[in-house]
Amino acid sequence: MKRITSMLTMVMIAMLSFTFVSCEMDDDDIAYNLEGIWEGEIRGEYFDRYGHGTTYNGARIEFYQNPYEYASGSGREIDFDAYGYYTDVVNFRYTVENGTIYLSYSDGTDVAITHFTLWSDEFRGEFRDYDTGRYLATFRFYRVNSWRNDWRYDHYYRW
């Protein structure tokens, strides 16, 4: 009986050791998985003299990984109105540092993407102000294309 108890103890210890394994991606993996075209929606909240409300905007965001620095690159964001017409196109550069994605837009806006999940075809998270960390909006994007299969240097977007 003592032998069975010690065997069960060893099995339990082995099983518990698997629960402490981390599955977090490093910065290079995050940048690699970002590469491609993502479409979805951005949900923001506003407060004005009439109360509180929520805005929903369609968006397309394109990430082009820098072939020489794996955890960085460039891209562009295209915002759409409720009728499907684009309202804004802004280029950006991005870097991934310590699990946070930093976007530096060509119009001078700096944003951090935090609290995100990045699965094979789904990308969700929060946009936060780079300087203050203040919440700006949440987003949910789905991958519509990836450059990995036909990569060429001219896909690397510059501004």
**What is the 8-class DSSP label of residue 56?**
E
pLDDT reported for residue 117: 94
- Other beta carbons within 10 angstroms of residue 151's beta carbon come to 14
Q: Name the strand (E) or helix (H) holding 4.
A: helix 2-19
3-state helix, strand, coil in the chain (%, to 5): 20, 50, 30
Alpha-carbon gap, residue 2 to 61, rounded angstroms: 61
**What is the 8-class DSSP label of residue 90?**
E
Which residue's structure tokens are 């299969």?
149
pLDDT reported for residue 153: 37
- Tell me the pLDDT of the chain (159 aa) as tens digits: 566 666 656 656 655 555 544 456 788 889 888 999 999 999 988 777 777 777 888 999 999 988 888 889 999 999 998 788 888 999 999 999 999 999 999 999 999 999 999 987 899 999 999 999 999 999 999 999 865 544 443 333 333
pTM confidence score: 0.72
pLDDT reported for residue 26: 86
Beta strands 36-48; 86-97: pairing state: unpaired
> What separation, in Å, do the N-terminal and C-terminal C-alpha atoms of the chain show?
73
> Is 61:69 a contact under the CB 8 Å cutoff?
no
Assign 75 to helix, strand or coil. Answer: strand
Q: Residue 22: what are its φ and ψ, rounded to 5°?
A: -90, 140
Tokens of 95: 């870097």
pLDDT reported for residue 47: 73
